[in-house]
Amino acid sequence: MKPFLRICVLAAMLGACSGSGSPDDGGLADAVDAADAGGDDLQPDAGCLPADDEFEGIRMRFEPGAKACTGFHDFATWQSEVEMAGRLTFIPGTFPLEEFQPADVTADWIERLEVGQDKQEATKLDSALLWYEFLETGDPNEGCHRYHYEQPFRLDGEEFLVTGVMTFCLDAGMPRDPEICVGPDYSRGRLGFRGMDGEPGTNDYQGFRPCYYNHIPLWIISLQMENGDSLVLHKRFAIPLGGSGPARIVYAEGNIAGHPFQIDDPFRLVYAAEHHNWNQEYVVIFVPPLDDVHGLYTQNIEEGAHPGTLRYLDAELNELRTTIIADINVQGPL
């Protein structure tokens, strides 16, 4: 299993802000600006309760059960999506941020990081460091303030950081929105994660997204094979106005050689595609295997224009054998 060498967290801008990414942030701040302008899955936070009036000023808030899972990004292969699978669990609570913070302080927002198909838990090395910068010149009561969060981890002998970028903008000394909240099915529109062991568009680049995408349309794709096997995929997918739309397989069920199965584990359900969601690929992983079948693979089934095939995968997720898809039924959006 190949560990993340660097995992980057970025929180979406609360109000349009100027400025570019700092030299060592890998372009995260610029990506946040783009997300604020209308990211691929920009939505209100899913599962957040009303703000607690006890807390004044700017703050981060994590609801109980707040998690983020790795997911689709343009051009990554499905093999990379399998290898780079991960899940973050946050510590519930409200964490005030000091306005015009004069010096670095410590913080602790991440409870657990799991990586890879074996769900190895990375080890937190020290408390996270939280530091601050004013993005503009002039009156700090009029402009945007950026906070950086850095949490060191170790996995398989490799040390890396989980890093965060949060920006709050002030008008007459008052924040346009004082809180970033992360719910159980969080949205990148409020908080996003990225793994960066490479550049966007490469197989070593990974992003964290909502684990179930409950806020976007559901599509149900049912496959019936010539050999009698069946597969039903529940796919969350929002058709994009431009670029690529957010997508995830959230549930799979079916019957393989007389073995019924039901899977809702994000680590075992993989979606991959090219830009604009072209050439969509779907993978279901069985743990434990169904006889000699460790997984299933198919592609472009949503088109329904040709019979297509279903691949059965071995322990290395290589092709074991194939069967013809006799029938495809697509329901959605639901």
The predicted-structure confidence for 77-130, as pLDDT tens digits, reads as follows: 899 889 888 898 999 999 888 766 666 788 899 999 998 889 999 999 988 888
Separation between Cα atoms, residue 53 and residue 50, nearest integer Å: 9
Q: What is the mean pLDDT of residues 222-233?
A: 97
pLDDT of residue 250: 97
Tokens of 265: 């584990």
In the chain, DSSP finds a helix count (H) and a strand count (E) of: 2, 25
Phi, psi torsion values for 242, nearest 5 degrees = -165, 160
Q: Is the pLDDT of residue 4 over 60?
A: no
Q: Which whole-number Å values give the CA distances from 143 to 24, 73, 138, 154, in the listed order?
A: 22, 32, 9, 37
pLDDT at 311: 98
For residue 7, give the 3-state DSSP assignment.
strand
Q: What average pLDDT does the segment 149-174 reach?
A: 82
What pLDDT, on a 0 to 100 scale, did the predictor assign at position 202? 56
- Work out the pLDDT band at 265, boundaries 50, 70, 90: very high
* Residue 19 region by backbone torsions, left for phi larger than 0, else alpha for psi between -120 and 50, else beta: left
Contacts for 113 with CB less than 8 Å, ≥ 6 apart: 7, 86, 87, 88, 89, 121, 122, 153, 162
Do residues 169 and 144 lie in contact, with contact meaning Cβ atoms separated by under 8 Å? Answer: yes
Contact 132, 101 (CB under 8 A): yes
Cα(322)–Cα(38) distance, integer angstroms: 41
Cα radius of gyration (the chain): 21
Tokens, residue 310: 């279903």
The residue with greater pLDDT, 208 or 228, is: 228
Measured distance CA(48)–CA(39) in Å, rounded: 20
pLDDT score at 270 = 96
pLDDT, tens digit, for every residue of 294-309?
999 999 887 665 679 9
Burial 134-147 (b: 16+ CB within 10 A, else e): ebeeeeeeebbbbb
Most confidently modeled range among 30-39, 116-125, 131-140: 116-125
Instruction: List the structure tokens of 14.
Output: 């609360």
**Residues of the chain with pLDDT > 90: what percent?**
37
pLDDT band at 48 (very low <50, low <70, confident <90, very high): confident
Does the structure show a pLDDT above 70 at 318? yes
| Rounded Cα distance, 114 and 278, in Å | 29
**pLDDT score recorded for residue 296:** 98
Does 25 or 180 have the greater pLDDT score?
180
Q: Which residues pair with 87 in a beta bridge?
A: 69, 114
Q: Which of 16-20, 163-167, 227-231, 246-250 has the lowest mean pLDDT?
A: 16-20
More confident residue, 137 or 320: 320
pTM of the model: 0.82
Mean pLDDT, the chain, rounded, equals 79
